[in-house]
Chains A and B, each alone.
Chain A
Amino acid sequence: MNKFRGFVIKEFFHIFRDVRTMIILFGMPVMQMLLFGYVITNEIKEAKIAILDHSRDHVTTELSRRIVASSYFQLAQVLDHDKEILDVFRKGDVKEVIVFEADFAEKLEKTGQAKVQILGDASEPNTAKILVNYTTGILMSYIQELNTQTELPLRIDPVTTMLYNPQMAGVYMFVPGTIAMLLMLICALMTSISITREKELGTMELLLVSPLKAFQIIVGKVLPYVFLGFINAVTILLLGNFVFGVPIQGSVILLLLESILFIIMSLSLGILISTLTNSQQIAMMVSMVALMLPTILLSGFIYPVENMPKILQYLCYIVPPKYFIIIVKNIMLKGTGMEYVWKETLIIIGFTMVFLLLSIRKFKIRLA
């Protein structure tokens, strides 16, 4: 067992002494997490708006207050004339202008109808759309409240208001996806590179000629990454929780155990890749192209599997991260336990077995 310990210690030296490896191991999780958290989500915070209130009554004041009080908007300017609107947009800071018509409260009370105009800066179409949706949402909820008080037959659909919240879902969704992608990448990429590096350097010849057994070499290579992968998983969960407020509803222990299972699966995939390739470059290419793209595109991470063409949906079944994402979503967001994720867990165990068996069969105790 001393031989084995010496081997694992050597692996840690390789990892801690290589700056690139360290960056990938510890920089990538944090960077990816922040990237996906801040860049890819469409959530808007404190967008500058201007309000032009021709009425200035109790209703418009209350509406303005509610809009500005929400964390999405920040009141940049109060306008007095219509002609100011274009100027405000041209300056570029203000993304939306809300115009209340004159005698707003009066009209609303008497006719049950009042007009508000929402102008968005469509040079950024997505932002504009989202801002308009938010604003409508706030107005709707106010009118809904009025409705319950006065029971006036106003045509409003409160459901729409609720639906306009895909942004929040996005924030929650990327955490499971990012964990899956990072663990997959780091574990598979790093092990496949570290094994092929020994082949390239010629040290594999020496390891093979030594009394070390094949499984000792494989397990020794993998063990440090199980440990580091686990640290990564924890980092991502903590970042998700504290920076982005993504909750962990279910059992943390179950979540960590499932993560370790997924790490082991990714590692066995990495070993498989390395037994099939002889150079670091090819191993890296295979890991990047064959693992990263499917993980992003076919795992349900960003694009829902249900919306894909049938052929791609079948392809999704053989993308292991898909199952891990389902597990993580269930445990983290829905707070469900093992009884809801056992099927996916079994599938991942199955993948692990297949990859390990294949790599043990493929791993050569000789050179050719």
Chain B
Amino acid sequence: MAESAVVTENLSKHFGAVKALDDISFKIGKGELFGFIGPDGAGKTTLFRILTTLLLPDGGKATVEGFDTVSEYRQIRRISGYMPGKFSLYHDLSVEENLRFFATIFGTTVSENIHLVQDLYSQIEPFRKRKAGKLSGGMKQKLALCCALIHQPVILFLDEPTTGVDAVSRKEFWEMLNRLRRQQITILVSTPYMDEAGRCDRVALMQSGKIMTIDTPQGIRQQFRKKILAVKGRDMFGLMKILEGFPEIERSYLFGQSLHVTGVSEALTADDLSARLRQQQAPDFRVEEITPDIEDCFIDLTATRE
């Protein structure tokens, strides 16, 4: 990471009384696949809009490929590809026409750059005469990405590209991003799905306009020093009730098919918890220690901040 693709310093933005971005500073290296992860309202879209020069920050500054987002916005607009939160395509234009239009307004042609998006486009090519409005969510997503890539951007901003798309398409999409990374394109992607964090080189966990931590997915898991115990059982609701009554438990929350539990002290082991639950005549359960997920880290970070 000799040079940075994106640098922000104390960036902030508020809408009325709401702080959408609160003093955000980070650096993203060239060619990185960088994820911004956080729930709705964390400030991801606002951040992307500032970086794509669509919004002016209230405080701080940001540069993209060395260009200032406020004074040199024209240069940034020429080199970046942007995919807004909802797939912004012209519904009354066909797949082909959408692609052609976005190539034209960037002063290039589809044939000149089709090699950049060839694998992606080949998946939607059979439907090239179909109107974009009649495509499925996954296909719209692919077309939108094609349109964002067709002018050969050096940096790509993808705002929640996997929201509203089925699981298979999501998986394919991330594989596509991985291939793109090999072409030395810097990719910034935001997502509310914690399980997608592992796909990125580095991630920033965001909450209420702040970045809580920035690290590799592995690093974030390692930062989490606490033990996580997963409790499974038939009567999850009953188990939750019982767990809430234990003073030695810091937190317990539903996570997929099981309850994740962290203790107040590190000393709490799976065996301890099993014993305590048995004492309370909890029916039919199993406790095991697991490695923390990004979501566990996120929940912990959020709770610690509060």
Contacts and interface: CB of A to CB of B under 8 A. Distances in A.
A155 interface: no
Given A3-B104, A202-B88, A212-B105, A366 B54 contact: yes
A207 interface: yes
Nearest to B103: A6
B90 interface: yes
- B49, B55, B82, B105: residue with the most chain A Cβ atoms closer than 10 Å: B105
A155 to B, nearest CB: 72
Contacts of B78: 211
- B78, B82, B88: residue with the most chain A Cβ atoms closer than 10 Å: B88
5 contacts: A7-B104, A203-B90, A211-B107, A366-B53, A368-B56
A169 interface: no
A220 B93 CA distance: 17
A207 B82 CA distance: 10
A7 B106 CA distance: 11
B92 A203 contact: no
Contacts of B86: 202
A367 B55 CA distance: 6
B13 to A, nearest CB: 9
Contact of A2 (B53, B77, B89, B107): B107
Contacts of A311: none
A205 B100 contact: no
B186 interface: no
Please report whether the interface of chain A is mostly helix, strand, loop or mixed according to DSSP: helix
B115 interface: no
A205 B92 contact: no
A261 interface: no
A21 B162 CA distance: 33
A210 B90 contact: no
Interface string A1-28: 0110111001001100110000000000
B147 to A, nearest CB: 8
Given A208-B54, A209-B77, A211-B78, A201 B91 contact: yes
Given A5-B104, A202-B85, A205-B49, 20 more contacts: A2-B104, A2-B107, A7-B104, A7-B105, A10-B101, A14-B92, A201-B89, A201-B90, A205-B84, A205-B88, A206-B84, A206-B102, A206-B147, A208-B54, A209-B77, A209-B80, A209-B82, A211-B106, A211-B107, A367-B54
- A14, A205, A367: residue with the most chain B Cβ atoms closer than 10 Å: A205
Given A207-B105, A210-B106, A367 B93 contact: no
Nearest to A216: B105
Interface in B247-268: none
Nearest to B159: A205
A368 B55 CA distance: 6
B52 interface: yes
B97 interface: yes
A13 B54 contact: no
A203 B100 CA distance: 15
Interface in B56-92: 56, 73-74, 77-78, 80, 82, 84-86, 88-92
Interface of B: 49, 52-56, 73-74, 77-78, 80, 82, 84-86, 88-93, 97, 100-102, 104-107, 147
B54 A203 contact: no
A210 B88 CA distance: 13
A202 B84 contact: yes
Interface string A182-225: 00000000000000000001110111111110000000000000
Contacts of B73: 365
Contact of A209 (B54, B92, B107): B54
Contacts of A212: 105
B99 to A, nearest CB: 12
A216 to B, nearest CB: 9
Contacts of B101: 6-7, 10
A236 B77 CA distance: 44
Nearest to B133: A201
A242 to B, nearest CB: 35
A73 to B, nearest CB: 54
A172 B178 CA distance: 71
Contact of B52 (A6, A7, A207, A209): A209
Contacts of A3: 104-107
Nearest to A217: B105
Contact of B90 (A10, A211, A367): A10
Contacts of A205: 49, 54, 82, 84, 88
Contacts of B54: 205, 208-209, 366-367
Nearest to B91: A201
9 residue pairs, one from A and one from B, having the closest CB atoms: A6-B104, A202-B88, A367-B54, A203-B88, A210-B105, A17-B92, A209-B82, A205-B84, A3-B105
A127 B52 CA distance: 67
A198 B82 CA distance: 16
Nearest to A201: B88
- A14, A17, A203: residue with the most chain B Cβ atoms closer than 10 Å: A203
Contacts of A365: 73
Given A10-B93, A366-B55, A367-B55, A206 B107 contact: no
Given A6-B104, A203-B88, A210 B53 contact: no
Contacts of B106: 3, 210-211
Nearest to B88: A202
Contacts of B53: 209, 366
